[in-house]
Amino acid sequence: MSKNKTELSVLVAPVEIIANDGPSTFYELQFCVIDDKEKGKIRNVGSDKWSDLRDLHFRLWISWSGGIFSNTSYEMAYSRPYKVDLERAELMVKTLRKINNIVKRSAEPGTAKTFGEFVTLVCAGLKIKNFVERLSPCRGWHADNDYRIADISGLAACVDGYVQMVKQENIPAEVAK
């Protein structure tokens, strides 16, 4: 990254079950920025040139049924936005259409066979070059956590590895024996 530049990235965090409603749950990833003006500090997307991505998440739905986990679907959706006025709503729609076009333009329909491949496809379409992996359990502010910044080429394997961890950590004891 060049000096005094802010770069868009995607934050991959250790597996955190976001919601657990009986037999299904979901895992989310969010966008973040790497601020080189502040020695590479990780920040939330704010009111900057990427404000259209604020509150936009990659979401994987995971279901537990019949003794096995399955990835039921993945999507991009705005999740828990603080405030949405007409201007922001129009920007959100424009961004979702842009991402939909990225997915449609992929080499062939169904190119992304895993959640990690889907995340990588969208990030590549948005010209994101790196991803940020949080190496420590979440401790408040981004500055309180340990990270590594890696090339986007390893994103799919990293994300899919965390998905496997979610499944392993949530297998009922009677099945794990």
Cα–Cα distance, 164 to 76 (Å, whole number): 20
Is residue 157 a contact partner of residue 12, using CB atoms and an 8 Å limit? no
- 92-135 pLDDT tens trace: 999 999 998 988 887 665 678 888 999 999 998 888 888 888 88
Residue with tokens 């007409």: 86
**pTM (two decimals):** 0.80
Exposed / middle / buried, residue 52 (Cβ in 10 Å: 0-12, 13-18, 19+): middle
CA 73/CA 115 separation, integer angstroms: 8
DSSP-derived letter for residue 132 is: E
The answer, yes or no, to whether residue 2 has pLDDT greater than 60, is no
Report phi then psi at 49, rounded to 5: -65, -10
**Per-residue model confidence as pLDDT tens digits over 33-73:** 777 666 677 777 776 677 788 888 888 887 766 667 776 78
Residue 139: pLDDT over 50: yes
Domain ranges of the chain: 6-176
Mean pLDDT value across the chain: 77
Q: What is the pLDDT of residue 153?
A: 93
Residue where the block lists tokens 């003006």: 37
What pLDDT sits at residue 176? Answer: 46
State the CB neighbour count (10 A cutoff) for residue 50.
18
